Amino acid sequence: MQYVSTRGQSDPLSFTKAVATGLAPDGGLYVPMDLPDLRPFLKDWEGLGYADLCEEFFKLFATDLDPVVLKQCVRDAYLDFSHPDTAPLKTLEKGLHVLELFHGPTLAFKDFALQLLGNLYEAQIQRTGNPINVLGATSGDTGAAAIHGLLGKEGVNIFILYPRGGVSALQERQMTCTRADNVYAIGIDGTFDDAQNSIKEVFGDLEFRHSAHLSAVNSINLARVLAQCVYYIYAFFRLPEEERENLTFVVPTGNFGNVLAGWWTQKMGLPVKGFHIATNQNDILYRLFTTGKYEVHSVHPSSAPSMDIQIASNFERFLYFHEGQDPARVREIMSQFRDSGQYTFADFNRDTFSASRATDADIQAHIRDIHEQYGYVLDPHTACGFQNLPESGTRVVLGTADPAKFPETIELSIGEHPKSPRLEELKAIEPCSYVLEPDPESVKKFIHEHITS
C-alpha cells in the first residue's frame, strides 16, 4: 500500500517510509492512497485478542514491513498493559458503556499508538542503521506516552515540547521524571498550539530535518491514527450483538486524531452509525460540527488540559476525504485558514457527526453524577463525553485517562483523591526539564546542541 500527502505535492511513500518521515515535505499529512474494505475480514477477526487483532489490521497497511517484525512490534507494544483485556469495555447500563483506554504504562489512551510507534522506530533503526531524533508537542498525555514508548531504545533521542503550567502536575512528572538520558522534556511559555506551530516549522526546514534525522511522534504521524483504529473494532466485537446496531462512539477529542481513527473504520466498513465529538470549553470542533465554521479562538486553560487546543492537527486528514481526496481543495482551504484563522464550509456534511462542549462546571457535574448513579469515576476528559449524550441507540464513551492523573478535579467533584502506584512512585523522583522560547530557531538550536554533544 502507498501513502500520499493530503496536499498532493510530495511523492507517494511506503508504510515504513511514511512513518519515518512523519510530516510530508509539502507540509501535508500522509494518508492511505485508498482505504481498504474491512468487511471481508470482520467475521474472522471477531474472536481475536487485542494484539492479534492489531496485527491482522496492520497487515493491510504495513505491506512493506517484514511480517515477523510486525508481529514482534505489536506483541511487545501491549505487554505492559495492566488489564487482561487491554481495552476493557465497562458497562454502566444496557446501551451505555465506557471503553477503558487507560491501562497502559502512562494511564492514557495515547499508549495504544505510542507503544507501538516506539517499536516501529526501533525496528527501523535496526533495519537501516540510522539514528532517529523524535520531535513532538503535547497538551498532556501524548508527551508522556511517547517518552515511555521510546525509553531505553538505542539510537533514539526524544524531544517533547509542552506548555508550562498547561498540563497537570502528574502529567508533567511523567515526562520529567524518567531518569533517561535520551529524553528531553521542554517547557515553553505558551500554548500547545504555539508548540505545535513551532514543530511544523522545524519540519518545514527540510535541510535541518534530514541532517538531524527528525521524525514526528505527534498524531501527524500516520501510524498513530492507524493504531487507534484498532480499539474501535475491538470495542465493536465486545458489544452484545443486539447492541451493535445504531451504535455511536462518543469521543473526547481536541486534536481530532482520536475521532478520525474511528471515522476511518466506518469508511472501511465497520457498521457504526456515528460519532459524537466531545470538547471542553476550547470548542473549535464543536463549533465546526454545529455551524460549519472552522475558526480559531484563544485557548482557555481548563480542567481537561489535554484538550486545550484550538488548531486540530488531524482535521486536515478529515478534510482530504471530505473533499473527495482532492489535494488542490485541501491546499486552498488550508491556505485560507492559515491566512485568516477561519474557513466556512457552505456544504459541510454533518450526518455522521454530532458534537458537544463542556465547561469546567459541566465536567465536575458529570464526574459527580456518574459516580452517584453508577459508582464509577471518570477523568475530566472522559467526563466531557457525558455532555449531551445521544439519547437513543448504543453509546460507547471512550475513557481516555485514569482519573488518578487528575486528583484535584476528582476531589473537587466527589471528595475522593484517586491514586495510582505508577504515579505515586514519580513523586520521589527529582524532575529534569528544560525551558525554551516557542520559536523554531530555538528548537532547532536546542536539538542540534544535544544530538552533537
Question: Which residues are part of the catalytic machinery?
Answer: 110
Q: What are phi and psi of 33, to 5 degrees?
A: -60, -40
Residues in the chain: 453
Cell numbers describing residue 217: 511522534
Cell of 47: 474472536
Spatial distance between the Cα atoms of 374 and 97, rounded to a whole number of angstroms: 11
What's the CA gap between 182 and 297, in Å, rounded? Answer: 36
| Sign of torsion over alpha carbons 7, 8, 11, 15 | positive
Residue 89 has which C-alpha cell?
Answer: 469495555
Residue 75 CB contacts under 8 Å (≥ 6 apart), including other chains: 51, 55
Q: How many helices (H) and strands (E) does the chain have?
A: 19, 15
3-state secondary structure 205-258: CHHHHHHCCEEECCCCCHHHHHHHHHHHHHHHHHCCHHHCCCEEEEEECCCCHH
Burial class of residue 430, CB neighbours in 10 A (0-12, 13-18, 19+): exposed
